[in-house]
Amino acid sequence: MVNNSSTKAPDLEEIFEIPEVYGPPPDIVDVDLVNGAVLEIKSIYLKHAQMAYLEVANYLFENFFDSNMDLMRKKTPVLGKVESFNELVRKLKEDDVSLPGRTWLHNSVRLLAEKKDIDGLDIEEVVRTYGQLPVSHKIVMLPLEIEQKKDLILKIEEDNLTVRQTKEKVAELLNRSNKEGAGKVVNFDKKIVSIEKTVSEWQSQIGKAVKIGSGNVEEFKKLEKLLKKVLVGVQKLQETDNK
């Protein structure tokens, strides 16, 4: 009789085929990690990008625009430094293609001018909000007039607008301005026609004065009145154009 107590129990591996596990467990995207990293890296990049824009702009402001804000707004260096600015753009790209180009440099000086314009509004909420905006939003707003920027700056914060949404708002504002400007052009043209008619009359009177002789005082008095009308008309046109 066999003693069962001495019989060895079967190994589980002999009964069940247990597969060997190779390599680490499956790699699953950690959404929270990714989203947090995007926000952090974006914040770091935009902070340093804005600093770079303003530091470069301040340097250009002093050395190529002779601290003249009007020239900065026009993106036009002082006389005698225009070609030097063009050479600067060429040399930067020649040294390293990743360095700023003409558009980047122009944007930097426009951003500095825009900052000074916004600060000059003396509207605390607008100034504070503008200072907190990413540089990408500020660049998108560059084509707008200062009055258009005020409301948009607050709307960007209020509605948490993305760069793309801000671009769409800027396009709407520019389109509206162009339509309003078209109406002004029509009125402007009408005034031009009126002045041209006055000038034509003036030229006709000159012809008469020449024919009858320069001693005719009355004719020249009429010419003087016509000339005054022309000057008044030009002044009104200039006022309209500046609005």
H helices present in the chain, as ranges: 12-15, 31-63, 69-74, 82-95, 102-119, 124-132, 135-140, 146-159, 163-212, 217-242
Helix axes 146-159, 124-132, angle to 10 degrees: 70
**Co-location of 220 and 156 in the same domain:** no
**Co-location of 139 and 97 in the same domain:** yes
Closest CA to 141 of 120, 162, 169, 116: 169
Q: pTM for this one?
A: 0.57
Q: Which residue has the higher pLDDT, 209 or 32?
A: 32
**Co-location of 187 and 238 in the same domain:** yes
Domain that holds residue 124: 31-161
Does residue 172 lie in a domain region? no
Helix axes 146-159, 102-119, angle to 10 degrees: 90
Give the residue-averaged pLDDT of 40-57. 87
pLDDT classification of 19: cutoffs 50, 70, 90:
low
Does residue 128 lie in a domain region? yes
**Co-location of 74 and 109 in the same domain:** yes
**Co-location of 128 and 238 in the same domain:** no
**Co-location of 131 and 198 in the same domain:** no
**Co-location of 145 and 228 in the same domain:** no
Tens of pLDDT, residues 83-109: 899 999 999 988 888 888 999 999 999
Max avg pLDDT among 18-22, 148-152, 185-189: 148-152
The radius of gyration of the chain from alpha carbons, rounded to an integer in Å, stands at 36
**Co-location of 192 and 102 in the same domain:** no
